Structure 1
Amino acid sequence: MSPAGELLVGLVIATGLVGVVVQVLPGSLIVLGAVLVWATETGGGVAWTAFSVGAVAVAAAAVGKYLLAGRHLAGAGVRRSTLVWGGALGVVGFFVVPVVGLPLGFALGVYLIEWGARRDSRVAWRATVAVLRATGIALLVELAGALVAAGAWLLAVLLT
């Protein structure tokens, strides 16, 4: 692949990494897709090994983030219905308050649902904090997988 093509792939990978953090774009899939395009165009054992390492890392992160976040939420006693309603209010918040409405609506939704179900503000606050921590755990695990994929690509580019 030409240097300009590799630069373009690098920019797409950077966009994917930002997408992982911002949680609006499917960041890990964008990173993996960019590495796949590069491996297809470059060819060879090094390129396909980089893609394989990236695919395994992204898949492991996808499974790991749900397992770790789920374990955290189960330990905190947060119900699934709370997450569903919090997510629904997050979507509403996304359209009401641009950019920051999704996380604000989600957090407010979790708090309100828990407060309404238990009528205890301390319990509702603990559930909200647990959900936000679980979200952070999931984000970090997904970011780790995407960074491994990006690192494998960068190493492969330097080796080819």
Structure 2
Amino acid sequence: MGAWELLLVAAVMLIGLAGVLVPGVPGSWFVWAAVVWWALQDPHGLAWAVVGGATAVLLVTQAVRWQLPPRRLRASGADRRMIVSAGAGALIGFFVLPVVGALPGFLLGGYLSERLRLGGHGRAVAATRTAMRHGGSDVLTELFACLLIMGAWLGALMWGP
């Protein structure tokens, strides 16, 4: 698979990651489709193992999300900037502290956005907590699954055949 094709796969994955942050957009399925597209173009055992793992992760994520409250982030007072900041924080955290850094990155990104908007620590903590209760955990679950899939894909590119 050529460099341009890999860049297109990465672009579709990034669109999927952004789609997770937008209600109604099947972002996780974009990420999964990009992995399948990569595996079809570069068929080897490791690629199909990544597809199998990605499929399992998405199925487990869907089961977990059904147990969480539905997304009502807007009703909690969270604005678009807070959601994007939380997503960017998760992405940065995922790479700074591999895998587990997505959770504190998500929370810190959301908190910092709310701190800038509301001005005080107490109000920002309360707003972040409210947003997490009203669907932030749902977004975080789906985003974390997509980051895991993207990390597996990157690992397969770096250490695969």
Common fold, TM-score beyond 0.5? yes
**CA radius of gyration, larger in:** 1
Higher helix content, 1 or 2: 1
Aligned partner of residue 21 in structure 2, secondary structure:
helix
Amino acid paired to 1:136: G
**Is 1:45 paired with 2:45?**
yes
Distance 1:48 1:57 in 2: 14
Q: Distance in 2 between matches of 1:17 and 1:2?
A: 23
Q: What secondary structure does 2:25 align onto?
A: coil
The 5-angstrom pairing of residues 137-156 of structure 1 reads 137-156=137-156
Alpha-carbon distance, 1:54 to partner? 1.0
Normalised by the length of structure 2, the TM-score is 0.60
Per the alignment, residue 20 of structure 1 pairs with 20
- Tell me how far 1:65 sits from its aligned partner: 1.6
Structure 2, gaps ≥5 residues long: 78-128
Q: Which consecutive aligned stretches of 4+ in structure 1 deviate over 6 angstroms post-superposition?
A: none
Query: What CA deviation, in whole Å up to 9, does each residue of 1:74-112 have, x standing for no partner?
Result: xxxxxxxxx7xxx8xx8xxxxxxxxxxxx54x458xxxx
- Structure 1, unpaired ranges of 5+: 71-82, 91-102, 109-128
Alignment RMSD: 2.3
Corresponding residue number in structure 1 for 2:123: none
AA aligned to 1:4 is W
| TM-fit CA distance, 1:23 | 2.6
Deviation (angstroms), 1:134: 4.0
Identity %: 29
Q: Which has the higher contact order (CA 8 A, sep 6+)?
A: 1
